Amino acid sequence: MRSPKFAFVLSLLLVTALSIVVDALGEEELRAQGDPSNSEFELLSEGNDLSGWKHHGNWKIRDGVISREGSGGSLVFVDRTMPDDFELRFDWKVAEGSNSGVYYRPTQYEYQILDNQKHRDGTNPRTSAASLYFCVQPSRDATNPVGQWNEGRIVCKGSVIQHWLNGVKVVHLDYRDPKWEFHVNLLKQRGGNLEARGANLSLQDHGDPVWYRNIRLRTLSESDPIDLAPVVPAQISEAVRAAEQKKLEGIIHRRLAAKAKP
């Protein structure tokens, strides 16, 4: 018969072994999800130098924090274009009422940056923070209070587009899936082409105070797994839909008028 001491030692060894296995699985999960400390990520913003970025003197970086400090247009990463399949992570915060955006593919691929409470775009989920602007609304408002940092994350692989906010996947779109036809057509009317590739990463200057830091990028290979769990967009009221349609009509009218000018 085994002694109680032997049984205790055996159980301790089993617990230790199980802990090692769990830790290993945890590390593997981090790798699968794209751990931001992973060496595959390249940091695009650090120190006090905006080398590789183009602007007109209206953006500054201090100790790795990028801020907009005057008019002059977007801050554009011109060192190279974005890969077709990628994961982009970044921290962002806004002042009261501020509006900005992260553009990561050509035409209208925008991760909305916004104060949902004070800016008028916050009244429509489809133009609220972390939305695929004027295309897919987030599942919920996961923003932190104004003045606090938020963690943004964009994952693009094939026809799948994901927006994450503060650890929550709030947008999951496969634009070739027929169930998203309404959303795809909505963006198309605004001038967006979801098949477009090869843009320069761009931080929008919308005339408002905004801050970014820890912008890091990795290219996804065909074998890299991504989270394919579905996400249900937030409900939009009929009144908000009507206002959205009116806004869209205005966008189309201005675009046609601009084309008609000699």
| pLDDT exceeds cutoff 90 at 61 | yes
36 close to 43: Cβ distance less than 8 angstroms: no
E-strand stretches of the chain: 42-43, 53-54, 59-62, 65-68, 75-77, 86-94, 99-105, 109-114, 150-157, 160-165, 168-174, 202-203, 210-219
Its pTM stands at 0.84
Among 38-52, 144-158, 202-216, whose mean pLDDT is lowest?
Answer: 38-52
Arch. (CATH architecture) of 41-235: Sandwich (2.60)
pLDDT tens column, 187-237: 999 999 999 999 999 999 999 999 999 999 999 999 999 999 999 999 999
Is pLDDT above 80 for 246?
yes
pLDDT of 31 > 70? The answer is no
* pLDDT number for residue 39: 66
Whether the per-residue pLDDT at 64 is higher than 80: the answer is yes
Give the least confident one: 22-26, 110-114, 160-164, 242-246.
22-26
Instruction: Return the bridge partners of 154, or none.
Output: 88, 163
Beta bridge pairs of residue 77: 53
Cα 84 to Cα 17, 19, 81, 159, 251, distances in angstroms: 41, 38, 9, 10, 28
Task: Identify the weakest region by mean pLDDT among 8-22, 140-154, 241-255.
Answer: 8-22
